[in-house]
Structure 1
Amino acid sequence: MPVYLHSIAPALPPHCLKQADVQDRAATIFGRKYEHFDRLSASFANAGIDSRYSVVPIDWFAQAHNWQDRNAAYISGAKALFIDAANAALQEAGWSGSEVDCVVTVSSTGIATPTLDAQAFSEMGFRQDIMRIPLFGLGCAGGVSGLSVAQSIATARPGSKVLLVVVETCSLSFRSDRLQKADIIAAVLFGDGAAAACISSDKSSGKAVVELHPGYQTMWPKTLGIMGWDVDESGLGVVFDRSIPSFVKAEFAEATSKALNAANLNHNQIDRYVCHPGGAKVVDAIENALHLDQGSLDAERQTLRAAGNMSAPTVMFVMKAVLDAGTSGQMMACALGPGFTASYLPFHVTAKAA
């Protein structure tokens, strides 16, 4: 049963944080507390990021915040991002909220119970019998994994309209109390954002036909400490190991080969890899691991420069840019996340004749 992407739409929160301003604010907050900050501060200039966006203004980060503060800001900001991204995707697909049969919501940067789709129920105009599937804990792999789940549901329920919404508010987990290197790197890289997609087994009538194929995941044993959250009284604390770029160089090619084999494809058949840009060094490592021309992952670098690493939705921003550029052929979306996990989704784009 073929499954098609009808639309993909990104959304950003209202507060734009310029990288230079973030660096200055981080120096004010960390400078006197963290003895290695001056050495690490060069990472702000080398991260390949000009700006990122936040659900809260920059002055919010100067104050101490507990779980309640952070999660209240998450529910408010993530709900607004959910509505913005979902409405944009529905409009592009020509769907209404009441037509959606299933909504898959991916988010790992806060806790909402009732879930974000329920929080936005009235504004979205969803039916009372809508199927709701919230996914938590996927981290940076959540965009590709969410697309895979949505593809599977659309395959299993022919004719159903599936809405995927991926929302992350990474900025709210900024921590100045732990004085760990991971917190400095998180301040360098992460921002907030959302993306939504409309998916069904009905053939798309857009400018290009985008057919989604079954996804693939692989996990590495004994790697739980590479990426994730530490949880304490103040909130979520990022786990972001320095070994990630070297791990990608060592392991990503073999994992990708397995994903290609599962899809009955080989490396030479892939016209474009669509990757989650975890950071400038990670993008370089992916190009190295997959023997791609240096600089070929241009949409990844442009997305990182414009909005930073937004975790799960970032790869969907890249996918949107690749499709808008008119790229066609066989592609493979891929992302790495907590687990440690690699998630893949093969998809094929056929450009329509003018």
Structure 2
Amino acid sequence: MSVYLHGLSTALPPHCLAQSEVRERAEIIFGETYPQFERLSKTFDTAGIDRRYSVVPIDWFSEAHGWADRNAAFMEGAKALFIDAAQAALDAAGWQGSEVDCVVTVCSTGLATPSLEAQVLGEMGFRDDIMRVPIFGLGCAGGVSGLSTAQSIAAGRPGAKVLLVVVETCSLSFRADRMQKADIVAAVLFADGAAAACISTEAPGAGQVISLGQGHQKTWPDTLDIMGWDVDEIGFGVIFDRSIPGFVNSEFATAAEGALRAANLDHADIDRYVCHPGGAKVVEAIEAALHLEQGVLDAERNVLREAGNMSAPTMLFVMRAVLDAGKTGQMMGCALGPGFTASFLPFHVGPPQIEAEAA
């Protein structure tokens, strides 16, 4: 059963933070209390980020925060991002909220019970019998894994309209109390954003035809301490192991080969890998691991430069940039996240007549 992408959208929160402004604020917060800050602060200049966006203004980060106000900021910001991204995807697909049969919500940076899609049920016009599938804990792999989950649901329910919404408010996990290197790295990289996609087995009537294959994951044992959250009474505390670029260099190619085999593809069949840009060094490591020409992942670098690392939605920002650039052919979406897990999704982009003949 072929599954098609009908609409893909991205959304950013209102507060734009220049990287230079973030560095100056971080120096005020960390400079006198964290001895290693001066040395680590150079990463603000080498991270490949010019600006990113936040659900809260920059003054928020100079104040003390606990669970209650962090999650209150999450609820306000995440709901707004959900609505913006979801409505834009529905508009692109020509769908109404009342037509959606299933909504998959991916988020790992805040807690909402009822989950976000229920929080915005009325604003979005969702029916009271909509199937809700909230997913937590996928981290940076959430965009690819969420798209894979939505694809599987659509394939199993022919004709159903499935809406994927991926929302992250990474900036709210900022911590100045732990004095750990990971918190400086998070301040360098983290940003907020959302993306949404409309998916169905019904073939699009016009325009690009984007068919989604079946997703694939690889989780390495004994790697729980590479990436994730520490949770305490203050909130989430990021776990970033310095081994991530080296791990990508040594392990990512084998994981990609497994995903290609599962999709009956070969490396030579892939016209474009579409990757989550975790950071400048990670992008370089992916290019090296996949034997790609250095610099070829230009959309990944552009998204990182213009919006930072938004965790799960970031790969969907890259995917939209690749599609907007008119790229066609066989592609493979890729992302790495806590687990430690690599997530893959093959998809094909082509004009309607080619796609119809292939089907």
Q: Which interval holds the TM-score relative to the shorter structure?
A: over 0.9
Alignment of 1:304-343 (within 5 A): 304-343=304-343
Partner of 1:88: 88
SS at match of 1:225: coil
Check the 8 A contact 1:74/1:110 in 2, yes or no: yes
Partner of 2:126: 126
Alignment of 1:197-216 (within 5 A): 197-216=197-216
Structure 1 residues not aligned, in runs of 5+: none
CA deviations over 1:189-214 (Å, ceiling 9, x no partner): 01000000000000013421000000
What is the one-letter code of the residue matched to 1:347?
Answer: F
Partner of 2:100: 100
Partner of 1:285: 285
In the aligned structure 2, how far is the partner of 1:321 from the partner of 1:120?
Answer: 27
In the aligned structure 1, how far is the partner of 2:33 from the partner of 2:332?
Answer: 44
Partner of 1:135: 135
SS at match of 2:221: coil
Check the 8 A contact 1:277/1:300 in 2, yes or no: yes
What is the one-letter code of the residue matched to 1:253?
Answer: A
Q: Which stretch of structure 1 is more off in the superposition, 32-41 or 344-353?
A: 344-353
**TM-score, scaled relative to structure 2:** 0.98
In the aligned structure 2, how far is the partner of 1:204 from the partner of 1:39?
Answer: 52
Alignment of 1:1-354 (within 5 A): 1-352=1-352
What is the one-letter code of the residue matched to 1:261?
Answer: R
What is the one-letter code of the residue matched to 2:234?
Answer: S
Structure 2 residues not aligned, in runs of 5+: 354-359
SS at match of 1:59: helix
Q: Which stretch of structure 1 is more off in the superposition, 295-304 or 344-353?
A: 344-353
In the aligned structure 2, how far is the partner of 1:305 from the partner of 1:247?
Answer: 23
**TM-score, scaled relative to structure 1:** 0.99
What is the one-letter code of the residue matched to 1:340?
Answer: F
Check the 8 A contact 1:49/1:307 in 2, yes or no: yes
In the aligned structure 2, how far is the partner of 1:29 from the partner of 1:204?
Answer: 51
SS at match of 2:10: strand
What is the one-letter code of the residue matched to 1:34?
Answer: Y
In the aligned structure 2, how far is the partner of 1:204 from the partner of 1:330?
Answer: 18
What is the one-letter code of the residue matched to 1:318?
Answer: V
What is the one-letter code of the residue matched to 2:34?
Answer: Y
Q: Which stretch of structure 1 is more off in the superposition, 343-352 or 165-174?
A: 343-352
Aligned-pair identity (%): 72
Shift in CA distance, 189/232, structure 1 to aligned 2, threshold 3 Å: same
In the aligned structure 1, how far is the partner of 2:162 from the partner of 2:106?
Answer: 13
SS at match of 1:238: strand
Aligned structure 1 segments of 4 or more residues deviating by more than 3 angstroms: none
What is the one-letter code of the residue matched to 1:331?
Answer: M
Shift in CA distance, 14/272, structure 1 to aligned 2, threshold 3 Å: same
SS at match of 1:234: coil
Check the 8 A contact 1:273/1:334 in 2, yes or no: yes
Aligned length: 353
In the aligned structure 2, how far is the partner of 1:119 from the partner of 1:55?
Answer: 17
Check the 8 A contact 1:326/1:351 in 2, yes or no: no
Check the 8 A contact 1:216/1:345 in 2, yes or no: yes
Partner of 2:356: none
In the aligned structure 2, how far is the partner of 1:98 from the partner of 1:325?
Answer: 31
SS at match of 2:230: strand
What is the one-letter code of the residue matched to 2:189?
Answer: L
SS at match of 1:327: coil
SS at match of 1:229: strand
In the aligned structure 2, how far is the partner of 1:71 from the partner of 1:205?
Answer: 42
Alpha carbon RMSD of aligned pairs, Å?
0.6
CA deviations over 1:179-233 (Å, ceiling 9, x no partner): 0000000000010000000000000134210000000001001000000000000
In the aligned structure 1, how far is the partner of 2:115 from the partner of 2:206?
Answer: 31
